[in-house]
Amino acid sequence: MIESNHIEIVVVGSLNMDLVVRSPHLPVPGETILGNSFATYEGGKGFNQAIAARRAGGQVAFVGKVGRDDFGDRLEEALKQEGILRQFVTRGENSTGIANVWVGEDGANKIIVVPGTNNEVTPKEIEAASELLSSAGVLLLQLEIPIATCTKAAQLVRRGGGRVLLTAAPVPIEPLPVELFEAVSLLMVNENEALQMAALLGMPIFKEGEEIEAGRSILTQVGSSLEAIVITLGSKGALWISSERVEHSEGFKVKAVDTTAAGDTFTGALAVGLQRGLPVPELLRFANAAGAISVTRKGAYPSIPYEAEIDRLHCLLN
């Protein structure tokens, strides 16, 4: 039995069933192609981050919603099997969220999410979990649940002295509210999201390769409440951009089979590294190692590595 007073990392986020089709290439509009395989995996950015943090060695709790259906049962069972506190995972009125995931032979993916019950995670659910959130060391948020809910959770954790990591995906269509940004400690984005977030904040358009410039301007625009922006660069590793430093950590060389959840795995592991007090270069390397392992395996949930595997790769010289 997991006790809520031992929880270090809380995920307030999405639970999806991933409906995954693999095909030789990804179809263009109007094209019909034959795929190679179909599988369903438990997923959702929130779910993946929670599993990644748990398997990397963290004590994790989840706040979210599933439907009264088989997908909901599978997601709840997976959280239980992993030893994640699921006292604040409830059943909603809609169907469980799903993600239609297309994966090409090079491992790259395209994803459409239909949120279902993820849209029912309201500020009321946050009130119910307020004690847990106020004492959390790290909160992991993504944008697959309502933004008002993210804001309320972030404010509670920040007031309690914890850190808030916001994965800005899917990139919102409108700028995020100031109150949310003010409560965020680390903004987590991939290369594309960094450029899109900068554009969303009304900055000049940055091109591919200008992630550091984009990160710096976001930092200037958002203000001092933000500790850093962390940009994942796929096989090229990751960047930590703060007002004092830009740290680049090289990626590990691995063969990519499926990149789904690589960013989530990076973030979950990073949360554990933060709790352990790892210095930034080591923190990025630990998270990079976790993300790199995940791309060598198919699916979201089954691809997420355990602490011992991460440590083995992390300790190897590249």
Site residues for ligand RIB, 107-126, by CB under 6 A, read 111, 113
Tally of helices (H runs) and strands (E runs) in the chain: 11, 13
What does DSSP say about strands 138-141 and 37-43: parallel, antiparallel, or unpaired?
A: unpaired
67 touches ligand RIB by CB under 6 A? no
Nearer Cβ to ligand RIB (167/217) = 167
How many whole angstroms separate alpha carbon 290 and alpha carbon 280?
15
72 touches ligand RIB by CB under 6 A? no
- Tell me which stretch binds ligand RIB (CB under 6 A): 40-48, 86-94, 173-181, 209-217: 40-48
226 touches ligand RIB by CB under 6 A? no
Q: Which of 18, 73, 264, 311 is catalytic?
A: 264
Active site residue 258: no
300 touches ligand RIB by CB under 6 A? yes
48 touches ligand RIB by CB under 6 A? yes
264 touches ligand RIB by CB under 6 A? yes
50 touches ligand RIB by CB under 6 A? no
Nearer Cβ to ligand RIB (16/196) = 16
* CA proximity to 270, closest of 287, 250, 282: 287
144 touches ligand RIB by CB under 6 A? yes
Nearer Cβ to ligand RIB (45/314) = 45
Among 59, 185, 196, 260, binds ligand RIB (CB under 6 A): 260
Within 13 Å of residue 260, how many CA atoms lie on the same side as its CB?
A: 32
259 touches ligand RIB by CB under 6 A? no
| CA distance from start to end of the chain | 39
Give the long-range contacts of residues 241-246, CB within 8 A, separation 24 or more.
241/212, 241/215, 241/216, 243/219, 245/280, 246/212, 246/215, 246/216
Omega before residue 175 within 30° of 0, cis: no
The kind and range of the H/E element at 246 are: strand 246-249
Binding site for ligand RIB (CB under 6 A): 14, 16, 18, 43-45, 48, 99, 111, 113, 144, 260-261, 264, 300
Active site residues: 264
